[in-house]
Amino acid sequence: MTLPPPPPPGASGPEICELMQRYMAVMDDLSHEQRQALEAHLSTCPDCARTNRAMQRVTSMMSSLEATSPSAHVDEAVMAAIAARAKDGDPQRGHTPPRSPFLLKPRGSRPALAWLVAAAAVLLLLIFGALYASTNLLRPPAQAFSLPATLSWNRYVLYHSQTLMSSSGHAYQVMTYHNLADDAMHVETVMQGELDVVVVSDDQKTLGLDMMHHVAQWDADDWLGEEPDFNLDRLRADLQSGDAVYLGKSLFNGQEVYHIREPKGRVLLLNMQYQPVNVLAPSGKPVYDTLHMMPASQVSSSMWDMNMPKGFKMGQLPPRNSMI
């Protein structure tokens, strides 16, 4: 069985409790990371801690049950009844009735133990049902998370930077300006002393510029890097379809943020005004070193200039995967 990955540290809400209760049911199969997340949650959530204690008690009760077998008197009475029935026959059908295969099972099958296990299973279901009622019916109904209908990011340019490691073990930086109104991009990739590539794109074309060798190339799309994390229309659709899941709220760098797990497994962080703050990798580490929402009016229009600079010549940029 595949379980969802642990939520971000400090995340809370009904969805988190539901996930933690799933973790409790398969405690022995949890990964180290999942077990740590469960223990951290139990230390702060009284409802889930109470549920966990009850589950541990039931597990202990089940493991302490002793195997039993029917009394010898029961066997004797059953065999006597079978013998008498075989001797007298069935007056209505005129022949000796067949012996019950259930009654003729050897003592090793221990039907009493089977009944005991079945009764214990019913008891277990009743206990879990009562626990669910006590921890969920008394809790206020969960409110579905949705973005305000009037929310728009179109007046902003999203800037973020991140430090990555190349396949050869060298650090490099990627700095991105993303115009959220028209999806225009300005991405610069820099490895000290090795490369400096700028890519500018709109919805029709992409211009790549090798700033160290003064070479330009159209359709240099591979230097744009990953698809942008923050796309408001896609986020709305993913939340409505359930492909994106609201995980709750926590503090990030001192400010309260919403956590939304996207289909790729990363977690988007939005502030209380529903604006981007950062992205968490599945490991829980922030993806971006810095991230800012800047009013578009404060960003120079030259950022989106797709005219080839003076002194550059058309040519071929090195493939991105061969450099980093």
Q: DSSP of 252-264, one letter per residue?
A: ETTEEEEEEE-TT
Q: Rounded to whole angstroms, how far apart are CA atoms 2 and 125?
A: 23
- Are 134 and 54 within 8 A, CB to CB? no
* pLDDT at 283 (0 to 100): 87
Q: Is the dihedral of CA 44, 46, 51, 56 positive or negative?
A: positive
Q: Give dist(CA 238, CA 266) in Å, integer.
A: 13
Residue 21: per-residue pLDDT: 86
State residue 12's pLDDT score. Answer: 79
**pLDDT reported for residue 15:** 78
Residues 6 or more apart whose CB falls under 8 angstroms from that of 211 comprise 196, 197, 198
Q: What is the DSSP letter of 141?
A: P
For the chain (324 residues), the mean pLDDT of every run of 10, in chain order, is 76 82 83 84 84 77 60 64 64 47 45 57 61 46 74 96 92 96 95 94 94 95 86 93 93 94 93 96 93 95 93 93 82
290-299 burial, b if ≥16 CB within 10 A, otherwise e?
Answer: ebebeeeeeb
**Which amino acid is it at 212?**
M
From 253, 243, 230, select the one nearest 10 (Cα to Cα).
253
Residues 201 and 208: their CA atoms lie apart, in Å, by 9
3-state DSSP assignment of residue 196? strand
For residue 143, what is the DSSP state? P
Which pLDDT score, from 0 to 100, does residue 60 have? 66
d(CA 150, CA 269): 19
d(CA 21, CA 53): 12
- Tell if the pTM clears 0.75, that is, is over it: no
Tokens for 312, please give them: 């550059």
Q: What is the β-pairing status of strands 290-295 and 156-165? A: antiparallel
